[in-house]
Amino acid sequence: MNSIYQYFRAIWYGFSSLWKGMMLTGHYLVHPKKILTEQYPENRDTLYIPDRFQGEVVLPHDENNEHLCTGCTICEMNCPNGSIKIITQQVVTPEGKKKKELDKWVYHLGLCTFCGQCIDACPQDAIKMSNAFEHSVYDRKVLTKVLNQPGSKLKSAKK
Amino acid sequence: METKDIKRDEFVINVGPQHPSTHGVLRLELWLDGEDIIDSKPHLGYIHRGIEKMSEALGYKQFIYLTSRMDYLSAHMNNQACSLAIEKGLQVEAPPRAQVIRVLMAELSRLASHQLWWGALGLDLGAVSPFFYAFREREMILEIFEETCGSRLTMNYITPGGVVNDLHPDFVKKVKKLIEQLKGNLHEYDQLLTGNAILQARTRGVGKLTAEDAISLGCTGPVARASGVKCDVRKLHPYDGYDKVDFEEVLNDKGDNFARYWLRIAEMEQSIRIIEQLIDNIPEGSYREKLKGVVKLPAGEYYQRVETARGELGVYIVSDGKKEPYRVRFRTPNFSNLNALRPMLKGAKIGDMVSMMATLDLIIPDIDR
Amino acid sequence: MQLSISLLEITRAIDSWLNSIFHPHVAFGIELVLAGVAVILLVVAMAVLMVYAERKLAGFMQMRLGPMRVGKYGSMQAIADVMKLLLKECLVPTNSDKMMFKLAPFVVTVVSFMTIVPIAFARGIQLWDINIGVFYITAVSSLSVIGILMAGWSSNNKYSLLGAMRSGAQIVSYELSGGLALIVVVMMSGTLSISGIVQAQADGWWVIKGHIPVIIAFVTFIITSTAELNRAPFDLAEAESELTAGYHTEYSGMQFAMFFLSEYTNMFVLSMVAATVFLGGWMPFHIAGLEGFNHFMDYIPGIVWFFGKTFFILFLIVWFRWTFPRLRIDQLLKLEWKYLLPVSIINVLFAAFIALMGWYL
Ligand code: SF4
Ligand code: SF4
C-alpha cells in the first residue's frame, strides 16, 4: 500500500514542482517591464559607463598643449606587458643645461590589458584611463598610438 | 593512468577540448559501454599560459594581475592571496579599511561566481532560463566592481598594502540595493531549479564522493564541504579579518551532486550575511599602505592560502631578495577538484558526466594556469 | 461558419473549373500538385513563424527581447536564418556513408510532410479524408526514427550514433503511450477518421465531455508528443551539453535546415493532432443549452478555431522547453515504462468502460 502511495506521490510531486517552474517563466513572459536587454548601439547616448572604467591609457593635455609627463619611464618599467615605450630626447634648455625630455609616448593598445599599473606607478600622475571602449579598428597599425600631441611640452614646474 | 585495451562493445569518445559542457578547453577521454561510462581520463594543458613562469620575470606588484586570469571568477580572491603573501614577506599589514574592502569584494565575487555556476548548471542540464535569471544579479555585482575597480572581470584591484582605489561613493548604496534584490530573488532559484523533480532526479544520489576520497584527492571548497570535510580557510586560518565576522561554514555529509548544489546555494546566503555585517561598518582611514615603487621581498619562502569560490588557493613565493620572485607556485582548487571526477564517473551515465562537471564547478584556466 | 463554407466552396469551384477544362485524370493530377504546393507553403510559413514566435517567447521568458535586428522587432530574423542556411555549404564527412548521409534529411522531412495529409483544417479543407486517419498519423510519424537512425549511423561520428540510438529508444517507447492516449478518444468517438472524430465533438470537445480518462489521455499525449519531437525536457537525442548536437552533429547548411524544418513540422503536426482529437479540431466552443453563446461562437470561422487551439498547444510545448532541465536517458525510459504506460493502460480500461456505458456529457 505504501509503495502505491509513494508512486502517486512521486507523480504529484513531479507535476507540482514542474508547474512551479512554469509559473516563474510564465510570470516573466507576462511582465515585459522586467526585461533587461539593452539595445546597445542605439542607446549609446544613454549608456552608463562608470567614470573609473579602464578603457584606454591617455595622456591629458591642457589648453596650452602641455602635459605632465617627464619621461621618467617608470610606467614603462611597471607595465607587465610592454605596452608602453617612452622615447626620450636630449634637449638643451635656454640656460644651456642638457636635459632629458619626452619625445614620444608610444602606447600599444593591442598589448594593453588595462591593468592600470602604469597609472598607479606614475609619480607625476601624468596619465590616466579614459572611458572609451569601442576600440575595434580595421587596421592593426592604428592601435599603436603616440599619446603626446605634436608640439606639446612639459608643463613648467608646479607653480 | 595506463592505457587500456579496448574490449568489444566498448568505445572511446573525446569530450572536448571544444565541448559545450566542459566550460573551456578540458578534454575528457571517456571509455563507454553504450551510455555507461567505464573509465575516464582528463587531458590538461590546452589553455596553459605559463602564469607561474611568467611571474618569475615580473616584479612583485606586476605579476598579481596575471592571477586574475587563473580562476577568472574569483579574480579578487586570487589577487588577495598574492597580496597577502607579499605582505607577509614585507611584514606590513593592510589598513583596517582595506581589509574590510577586501572581504567585501571577495564575498561579492563569491556571490557572482556562484550565480554564474547556478546559471551554467541549468544550461548544462538543459534548462536555458536559469542562466538569465542568475545573470540579472550578477550583472549588478559586476557593475559595482566596474564602478570601484574600473573593470568587470579581471580587476587587479587588491594590491600589496591594500587596495588600489578607494570605494566609489555609490558603493554602499548599490550593495544594499543588490542585497535587497538578491534576497527577494533567491527563492526564484528554488522555484525554478532546486525543487524541480527533474533536477532532483538528475542530482540526488549521483556523483557520490566520500569524505575519505575528498581528503585523499585533495578536494577543497564546496566540493569537499559537501562531503562533510571541514576545510573553509576563512574559518581555519582566518585572514583579512574573517575572524571578526560571524558566518557559518556550511557542511553537508551526503557528498552527491545535490549536496554540492545545495551547499553553494547556502553559501550564497552566508556571503550575503557577511556583506550585511560589514557594509555599514567600513572603518574610515587610509585604504592603502604606501609601499616602495619597487618591492623587494627578503630572501625566504612565503605561503598564503585563501578560500576562493571553488576552494583553497595557495600561493607559494620563493624569494632570493631580487625584485622578481625566484619561484611562484599556485596550488589551485580546481586542479584537485578535477581529480574527484574519475572516481565519480565510474559506472555513471553520459548525462551524469554533465551534471557532475557542473556541480564540481570547474574553471579550466585555473587547472592549467 | 460563413468563411469555412466559402473555403469549401472555393475548393469545389476550383475542382469543377479544372474538370471542365481538362480530362478528369489531368485535373486530378493538377489538384494534387496544387495541394502539395499549398502544404509545403503552409508548412514552411508556419515553421518560419514558429521559429520567430519561439525565439520571442523564449526571450520574454528570460527577460530578454529576443531577435530585434532584422526587420521591425526582428520579424524577418527567421527568414534571414533560412537564407543563411541556404547559402551555406552542405559538408559531407569523409568517411561517412555518403548516400545514406544525404538521404537521411529527406526521409525525415518527407515523413513529417506525409503526416499532414489527413488533418482537417476547417470544414472540408482536408487533403485526404482517409478512414483510418489517426492510425495513419501514428504509423507514419513513427517512420521518422528511421531517418534519424540513418543520419546518426551514416555520419560516422560517435556523438551522432549515440544521439540516434537515444532517439530510437525514446521514440519507440513513447509511441506506446501516445497511441494508447489516442485510442481513448478513438473508442469514445467510435471512428478512426479525423473528420469523424471532429464531427463527434460538435456538441462538446472531448477534453470537456470525456471525463477524467480523456484529460489523462490529453496530458499523456502532450508529454509523449514532446518526447517524440525530441524537444526539451526530452531532447536527449540532441542534448547539446552532452552530445553537442546529437544525430545532426555533422550536418550543415540546407541539410541541417531540413532536420530543423522537420522538427518544427512534426511539432506543428502533433499539435494539430492534439487539437483535433482532444480539443475538437475546427469545432467552435459550444456549451449545451446556451443558444446565443453558441451562435456567437459559430461566427468565428473554423480555421481560426483550429489554429487557435494548435497554437495553444504549441505554446505549451515552447513553455516546457524554456523552463525544464533535461532528463537522463534511463530516467526518460523509466518515466515511460514505469509511469506513463501503466497509467495509460488503466486509463484505456476506464475509457472503454465509459464508452460502453455511453456516459458522456
Ligand atoms: S607617464 Fe608618468 S611614469 Fe610614465 S614616463 Fe611620464 S611621468 Fe614617467
Ligand atoms: S594598463 Fe597595464 S598593460 Fe596597459 S599600459 Fe598600463 S601597465 Fe601596461
**Residue A5 burial (10 A CB sphere; 0-12, 13-18, 19+):** exposed
pLDDT tops 60 at residue C6? no
Which of C158, C233, C241 is facing B354, going by the closest CB pair? C241
Residue C119 pLDDT class (50, 70, 90 cuts): confident
| In the predicted structure, residue B91 carries a pLDDT above the cut 50 | yes
Q: Does C6 touch chain A (CB under 8 A)?
A: no
Contact C290, C200 (CB under 8 A): no
Asked if the model's pLDDT at residue B1 lies above 60, the reply is no
Nearest ligand, measured from the Cα of B293: 1
Counting residues of chain C whose pLDDT is more than 90, the rounded percentage is 0
pLDDT at position C2 over 70 = no
* pLDDT exceeds cutoff 60 at B3: no
- C7 pLDDT band, cuts 50/70/90, is low
pLDDT at residue number B356:
85
What is the pLDDT at residue A157?
A: 56
Taking residues A62-81, report their average pLDDT. Answer: 81
Whether B350 sits inside 8 A of C162 (CB atoms) is: yes
Task: Identify which of C355, C306, C311, C346 has the alpha carbon closest to the alpha carbon of residue C126.
Answer: C306
Say how many CB pairs under 8 Å bridge A and B: 70
C263-272: pLDDT as tens digits? 888 888 888 8
Subunit contact B11:C158, Cβ cutoff 8 A: yes
Task: Show residues of chain C in contact with A16, CB under 8 Å.
Answer: none
**How many of the other CB atoms lie within 10 Å of CB of C81?**
18
Distance from CA of C275 to the nearest CA of B (A): 27
Subunit contact B196:A74, Cβ cutoff 8 A: no
A contacts of B192 (beta carbons < 8 Å): 21, 24-25
pLDDT for the residue C319: 86
**Domain range enclosing B223:** 51-368
A159 band by pLDDT with thresholds 50, 70 and 90: very low
Q: How far is B303 from chain A (nearest CA, A)?
A: 23
Whether C302 shows a pLDDT value over 50: the answer reads yes
Residue type, A56: E
- Domain assignment present for B356: yes
Out of A36-50, B308-322, C347-361, give the one with best mean pLDDT: B308-322
CB B86 within 8 A of CB B316: no
**Domain edges within chain C:** 95-357
Ligand 2 closest atom vs CA A113:
3
Sheet holding B327-331, edge to edge: B300-308, B311-319, B327-331
Average pLDDT, stretch B283-301?
A: 80
Rg value, chain B, Cα: 21
Question: Does some domain include residue B346?
Answer: yes
pLDDT of res. C289: 67
Q: Which residue has the cell 525525415?
A: C108
CA dist C99 → B263, C87, C94, C153, C161 (Å): 52, 22, 12, 12, 17
* Confidence band for B278, pLDDT divided at 50, 70 and 90: confident
CA angle in degrees (0–180, nearest 5) for C192-C196-C201: 115
Q: How many domains does one find in chain B?
A: 1
Task: Decide if B169 contacts B143 (C-beta within 8 A).
Answer: no
Q: Ligand 2, from A53, A107, A115, A122: best to mutate by most atoms within 8 Å of Cβ? A: A115
Strand partners, B36: B33, B349
Rounded to whole angstroms, the Cα distance separating C224 from C178 reads 6
ipTM: 0.79
Q: Do B164 and A14 touch (CB under 8 A)?
A: no
| CA A102 to centroid of ligand 1, rounded, Å | 9
Q: Whose CA is nearest to atom 3 of ligand 2?
A: A112
Highest mean pLDDT among A91-100, C88-97, C112-121, C144-153: C144-153
Residue C210 clears pLDDT 70, i.e. is over it: no
Q: Given CB atoms, is B6 within the 8 Å cutoff of chain C?
A: no
Helix (H, G, I), strand (E, B) or coil at A122: coil
Instruction: Report chain A's mean pLDDT, rounded to a whole number.
Output: 80
Query: Which residue out of A69, A76, A79, A144 has the highest number of ligand 2 atoms within 8 Å of its CB and is therefore the one to mutate?
Result: A79
A74 lines ligand 2 (CB under 6 A): no
Question: Is the Cβ atom of A83 under 6 angstroms away from ligand 2?
Answer: yes
Average pLDDT of B105-133?
Answer: 86
Find the C358 Cα to ligand 1 centroid distance in Å: 94
| Residue A24 with chain C: CB contacts under 8 Å | 323
Using DSSP bridges, classify how beta strands A66-67 and A153-154 pair: parallel, antiparallel or unpaired.
parallel
Q: Do C241 and B350 touch (CB under 8 A)?
A: no
pTM of the predicted protein model: 0.84
Q: Is C312 on the interface with A (CB under 8 A)?
A: no
The domain that holds B207 is classified in CATH as 1.10.645.10
**B231 within some domain:** yes
Predicted local distance difference test score (pLDDT) of residue C310: 86
Closest chain C C-alpha to B173 CA, distance in angstroms: 25
| Interval A12-27: pLDDT, tens | 887 888 888 788 888 8
Residues of A with CB under 8 A from a CB of B: 13-14, 17-18, 20-21, 23-25, 36, 50, 52-54, 74, 78, 80, 113-117, 120-121, 123, 129
CA B5 to chain centroid: 37
In a domain, residue B16? The reply is no
Chain A residue with minimal CA distance to C315?
A26
A28 with C62: Cβ contact below 8 A: yes
Residue spans of the domains in chain A: they are 2-34, 56-154
Of residues B20, B35, B129, nearest to C61 (C-beta): B129
Q: Assess contact for B326 and B320: CB atoms under 8 A.
A: yes
- Eight-state DSSP code of residue A141: G
Q: Which of B51, B54, B64, B65 to mutate to test the interface with A (most CBs of A within 10 A)?
A: B65
Q: Chains with 3 or more CB pairs closer than 8 angstroms to B?
A: A, C
Q: In Å, how far is C158's CA from the nearest CA of chain B? A: 7
* Chain B residue closest in CA terms to A18: B196
pLDDT at res. C5: 53
The CATH class for the domain spanning A56-154 reads alpha beta
pLDDT in the model for residue B227: 86
